[in-house]
Chains A and B, each alone.
Chain A
Amino acid sequence: MALMNIFDIAGSAMTAQDLRLNTTASNLANADSVSSNRDETYRARHPIFAAKLQEAGAFGGPTAAGSPEDASAGVTIQGIMESDAPLQMRYQPHHPMADENGYVAYPNVNVVEEMADMMSASRSFQLNVQMLNTVKSMAERLLTMGQ
């Protein structure tokens, strides 16, 4: 039944948004983590979302009656990428982690961007919860038909 697939779709979206919130939290928590080695300095992380494709009959092939002939069903996370943005170099010659020129490498986390990302993720999460509740009440109502 079409309505039952929506629980999977909304679930996958909520998982994805949850992971996005997690990376945001990690980025914000590590916004000021310095390291003595420039290669080991924390870099901002972001998940990569992709539409989940349906296995069978997604593109043009004959499909079973009642199945959604939609090409995709929910979201998958393809992976988490580290930002390539340049690290923030701050001149702090008395810092124990400073290099020979007196610079300390700070993570390339953009705090403003992360906050905006956090709000976007939590709104999307809310929207999916709302959707799930609506579909649940639709299904419940459907069960009482004819009574």
Chain B
Amino acid sequence: MKIDFDAALGIHPAALMLRARRTEVLANNIANADTPNFKARDIDFKAALAAQLQGADSPGRIHATHARHIAEAPAGAAGSELKYRNPLLPSLDGNTVDGHVEQAEFANNTLHFMASMRFLDGKFKGLMTAIKGE
């Protein structure tokens, strides 16, 4: 019997990767808090995670069947799930970053990142116990 890592680790590696990517998007929003005409963006986490778990071979995805077909973005690419945030208040310089909203989302995302990591850690510890058999 062999260990299937995908089955053993479950949803958590995909979730962890998406959380890391979302951290970057939120960091970019905070960094551009004073940039005129910058539009705050965010990942639709649910849609992105579903796309990542769906994998490449499932029906409904586009397949390149000819050498000159343009390759589709890789599974789970955030480009399609990257949305613009609806600003709570309009601002004079066209910037839609709300510092407090972004900070709250950043903290929330960090917490979820830590949670995913804790779950993964538990899975690895479980596998180690299984290997050692003590």
**A and B bind:** yes
Tell whether A124 is near chain B: CB-to-CB under 8 Å. yes
**Which of the four size classes fits the interface of chain A?**
35 or more
Tell whether B15 is near chain A: CB-to-CB under 8 Å. no
Tell whether B11 is near chain A: CB-to-CB under 8 Å. no
Binary contact readout B58-92 vs A (1 if CB under 8 angstroms, 0 otherwise):
00000000000011111011111010000000000
Cβ contacts under 8 Å, B77 to chain A: 63, 65, 69
Interface segment among A23-31, A35-43, A86-94, A139-147: the answer is A139-147
Query: For chain B, what secondary structure do more than half of its interface residues adopt (helix, strand, loop), or is it mixed?
Result: helix
Q: Are B117 and A142 in contact (CB under 8 A)?
A: yes
Which of B25, B73, B76, B125 has a CB less than 8 Å from the CB of A62?
A: B73
The CA of A129 and the CA of B110, in the complex, are separated in Å by 15
Cβ contacts under 8 Å, A118 to chain B: none
The CA of A51 and the CA of B74, in the complex, are separated in Å by 25
Tell whether A74 is near chain B: CB-to-CB under 8 Å. yes
Which of B17, B36, B78 has a CB less than 8 Å from the CB of A69?
A: B78
The residue on B at minimum CB distance from A67 is B77
Tell whether A131 is near chain B: CB-to-CB under 8 Å. yes
Tell whether B20 is near chain A: CB-to-CB under 8 Å. yes
Tell whether B120 is near chain A: CB-to-CB under 8 Å. yes
Q: Are A127 and B124 in contact (CB under 8 A)?
A: no
Known: A127-B99, A134-B106. 12 other contacts (CB 8 A): A2-B17, A9-B28, A49-B34, A51-B35, A62-B72, A68-B21, A70-B82, A131-B27, A134-B110, A135-B23, A141-B117, A145-B117
Interface residues of A (CB under 8 A from B): 1-3, 5-6, 9-10, 12-13, 16-17, 20, 48-51, 60, 62-66, 68-75, 120-121, 123-124, 127-128, 131, 134-135, 138, 141-142, 145-146
The list of the 3 closest CB pairs from A to B, nearest first, reads: A69-B79, A13-B31, A2-B20
